[in-house]
Amino acid sequence: MRRFWIMLLAIATALVIALPAGAVKPPRPPKPPTAAPIAVFIDAEPVWTHEADDIVKYHITLENKTNELIDDITIRFTAATPTVIVENVQVPANDNFGKGFWRTVSEYEEAAPCLKDVDPAAECGLIAKVEVLIDDVVITQTEMSTLLDPEPACGFDYQWIGDGEDAVLTGTRVEPVNDLCIWTLPEDGETTKTGVWEITLRPTLPDPETRKPLGAWMDVRDGVPGNWCTLAIDDSWGFSDRWKAPYPPDPTLRGHVYLPGDENLPVDPEDPEHPTLGLDNGMCISGGAGGDYFEVGNPKSFYLRADGDVPVTVTVKWVSEIPPPTPDETP
């Protein structure tokens, strides 16, 4: 047993000799910092953006995790430029404080690569950062990224057909459509031409020898993702049709959509005391996935998905300001 302890002593002595001159015992790792008394969270809507004029709305939440009032807090919010500083913020004990900010997509430097050529295959992350300071010291911070996924413009050529009160506003896309495009409504004077629009799809007929059935389909939303632009809440959110050979000389698919502005339709048109839908400017009246409503990025833009087994030509025509009453609401 004594021999065993002598061997241990010899090994320890050898290790000390092997250390370089002046070597000291390495310091212990620092203790982790004490958890910050304030937690910060950031949310943004819409979930995705698609064009330069889209607006991102941020909501910042500070949570006081202590049993005492915390005051003299500074919030530093950075997204695009300039940085916004909010001073003298107070958060009661075990309570929250909220603050909103907003930015336009075109203001972000990191958006430039996606907006320069509007390549649908490109994606850019729009960064937002929040710092929380007490006595000029950052005690906590967080950041998030909102995706910019650009979509091409529909490029309708608008014109008035006819004269006077009988004139009809129509728009035609010269190039055939296959997939999604941003439908920006025209201006009538200083007013955006919102309301009910009729959409007509005309498939490009294939070679007469082709016997394959043709299909075409379309739908319109106020964003991607977004709310469905229907005439009524319970309406189907899209239109489709198929044609078998021999094809008709002019196969067409036609449907009507309601593209709202700031008009706020009542839930029940026959009951003036009934509450309105309570939707923001530009929000279509049928909710998106699961019936939930999505925030609108740009209230003047809508998203037309026009597709088919062959390229389709799209024509749009303005019909009326608001949807007509459904049959069971007709007096």
Strands 168-172, 312-320: pairing is antiparallel
Phi-psi region of 322 (alpha: psi -120 to 50; beta: other; left: phi over 0): beta
**Residue 91 and residue 72: Cα distance in Å, rounded?**
9
**φ, ψ at 9 (rounded to 5°):** -60, -40
Dihedral in degrees, nearest 10, Cα atoms 131, 134, 140, 144:
-20
pLDDT of residue 85 exceeding 90, the answer is yes
The mean pLDDT of 84-97, rounded to a whole number, is 97
User: Sorting pLDDT into bands at 50, 70 and 90, what band is 188?
Assistant: confident
Chain segment 136-167, per-residue pLDDT in tens: 999 999 999 999 999 989 989 998 887 766 67
Provide the phi-psi class of 214: left if phi over 0, else alpha when psi is between -120 and 50, else beta: beta
Identify which of 99-103, 110-114, 324-328 has the greatest average pLDDT: 99-103
pLDDT for position 13:
40
Report the C-alpha gap between 263 and 234 in whole angstroms.
19
Residue 309 tokens read as: 């087994």
Report how far apart, in Å, the C-alpha atoms of 109 and of each of 51, 60, 152, 305 are.
14, 22, 20, 29
Minimum mean pLDDT range among 39-48, 212-221, 264-273: 264-273
Q: Within the chain, what is the greatest distance between any pair of CA atoms?
A: 116
**CA–CA dist 176, 59 (Å, integer):** 41
- Between the CA of residue 252 and those of 94, 161, 186, 240, 310, what are the distances in Å? 62, 20, 24, 10, 13
Q: What is the pLDDT at residue 327?
A: 57
Cβ atoms 258, 230 nearer than 8 A: yes
Averaged pLDDT, 10-28: 39
Long-range residue pairs from 158-164, CB within 8 A, at least 24 positions apart, any chain? 158/186
- Whole-number mean pLDDT of the chain? 83
For residue 31, what pLDDT is reported? 42
Q: Are 260 and 285 in contact (CB under 8 A)?
A: yes
Whole-number Å distance between alpha carbons of 142 and 104: 21
In this structure, which amino acid lies at residue 250? D
Rounded to 10 degrees, the C-alpha dihedral 258/260/266/272 comes to -110
At residue 104 the predicted structure's pLDDT band, cuts being 50, 70 and 90, is: very high
Structural contact between residues 128 and 58, judged by C-beta atoms closer than 8 angstroms: yes
- For residues 89-98, average pLDDT: 97
**pLDDT band at 284, cuts 50/70/90?**
very high
Residue 12: its pLDDT value, please? 41
What is the predicted pLDDT for the residue at 136?
Answer: 93
> Which CA distances in Å does 306 have to 83, 156, 223, 225, 283?
41, 13, 15, 16, 20
Confidence band, pLDDT 50/70/90 cuts, at residue 189: confident
Q: Per the structure block, which two tokens stand in for 311?
A: 């390229």
Q: Which two tokens stand for residue 81?
A: 């430029």
What domains are defined for the chain?
A: 38-148 (2.60.40.10), 157-329 (no CATH)
CA 313 to chain centre: 27
- Pair type for strands 70-78 and 38-45: unpaired
Do 205 and 251 form a contact (C-beta atoms < 8 A)? Answer: yes
| pLDDT surpassing 80 at residue 274 | no
- Residue 113 backbone phi and psi in degrees, to 5: -60, -35
